[in-house]
Amino acid sequence: MSQKRAAIYILVEKQSRVEEAIERQKIACEQYAESAQLKVVKIYSDVSHSTTLNQRPMFQKLLSESKNALFDLIIVQRADRIGDMLDVAIYKKRLMNNGVDLVIAEHTMKESPEELIRESILQALIVL
């Protein structure tokens, strides 16, 4: 079986130390990829200040390229790099339609079991 190919998506806020924040997210995602025996083939990163997903050029490029079978999954450090629970559910579904999985490398402490269940329910409702 061939090794799965992964893309990494990084989002940092403009007011943060951009280079450090990018590197921190990149390392977390690369560590996840290594532990899951994934080959990272591309890294997308946006520097933003509270913009919506459709205003992030690299996220839009990632979505577009997900249709071309360049990678099998996308790794983000935390779910909030995509948005709120609804955004995550919507984009997981959209990517799934392109044959690409969305993987969260680190689940934060604020993601309680109840929140993870809510996310699963949202994903199920979006499928319907």
CATH number at residue 63: 3.40.50.1390
Which residues span the domain enclosing 48? 5-127
CA angle 73, 75, 79 (to 5 degrees): 125
36-74 residue pLDDT tens: 999 999 999 998 866 777 788 999 999 999 999 999 999
The pTM for the full model equals 0.82
Residue 124, pLDDT score: 61
Q: Using an 8 Å Cβ cutoff, are 48 and 13 in contact?
A: yes
**Residues near 20 by Cβ (< 8 Å), separated by ≥ 6?**
none
Q: Report the domain count for the chain.
A: 1
How far, in Å, are 1, 2, 52 from residue 78 at the CA level? 28, 27, 17
DSSP 3-state of 83: coil
